Amino acid sequence: MSSRLRADLSLLLVAVVWGSAFAVQRQVAQAGALFLFNGLRFLVAALALLPFTRRRLAQAVPGSWAALAAGTVLFISAALQQAGMRTTTAGNAGFLTGLYVVFVPLILWLGWRERPSRMAVLSIFLAGAGAYLLSTGGRSFQLHPGDDLELLGAVFWALHVVIVAKFARGLDVLAFSTAQFLVCGLLNMGIGLWTEPVDLPSLAGMTWAILYTGIISVGLGYTLQVWAQRHTPPVTAALLLSAEAVLAAFFGYVLLGEALSLLQALGALAILAGIALAQWKVVR
């Protein structure tokens, strides 16, 4: 198996991990947790990797600015998404966040004059249309106050994919991941301690969610993303990661009993079709 194919399969695994964690994160969000929850899970991820990176942290110094940028962008993305969810619908949030698959090639074109291929454009169109159907069930898209935050958040999610692709390549994967988790976790904790009440019993009740999302979703997921994007182009990486929406809907149906209409199922198939087109040259 080629390095490219292994990397692409790893990104699909990341989408599975993030999709499975969505149901957990949604339950926590409904309980009102935001910055402190995010801070704790990112710091747990950093601590989980620390035993493997203690002797490598010195090697991360040349790329420390990239880890600082990546961690800061992660913090901004998650904050915008969560803040927007307070004043918009889950359907709008899902669709607008999924538009990062469109913003990645746009950022690459504006910043590096890299134009996507025709096959990539078709894949992006299918994934975008699929995200709309999956998130809204085909209902008309109505604007809500938090939609601008969700849309801006999608831009930052796309920017994180580009930062990892352009600046993390060649750096130590574990050291870079640990550094960006520390930056994101400390920023979240700082804002959380300033703006949110510290309810220790409530946080203790979220221990399982913090450990699962911290070790599996953040620690495993984002570390695999950094490694895989050494071999997978950023546009294709964004398409593969967009499978998260499909898997989040699946786990929401299985774990939370959320309904899934025929149009939503067609949207999921459209996203998967876009991913399949993006893989055409890899597996052919």
**What is the chain's pLDDT, residue by residue, as a tens digit (284 residues)?**
689 999 999 999 999 998 888 777 767 776 776 899 999 999 999 999 988 887 666 655 556 889 999 999 999 998 887 777 667 766 667 778 888 999 999 999 999 999 988 889 999 999 999 888 887 777 776 777 778 888 999 999 999 999 999 998 888 899 899 999 999 999 999 999 999 988 888 888 899 999 999 999 999 999 999 999 999 999 999 999 999 888 877 877 777 677 778 888 898 899 999 998 887 765 44
Residues 6 or more apart whose CB falls under 8 angstroms from that of 165 comprise 229, 233, 234, 237
Residues 6 or more apart whose CB falls under 8 angstroms from that of 253 comprise 259, 260
Distance, in Å, from the CA atom of 262 to the CA atom of 215, rounded to the nearest integer, reads 34
Q: For the full predicted model, state whether its pTM sits above 0.85.
A: yes
Contact predicate 64/171, CB 8 Å: no
* Residue 256 to residues 22, 25, 121, 253, Cα–Cα distance (Å): 11, 12, 34, 6
Distance, in Å, from the CA atom of 231 to the CA atom of 240, rounded to the nearest integer, reads 13
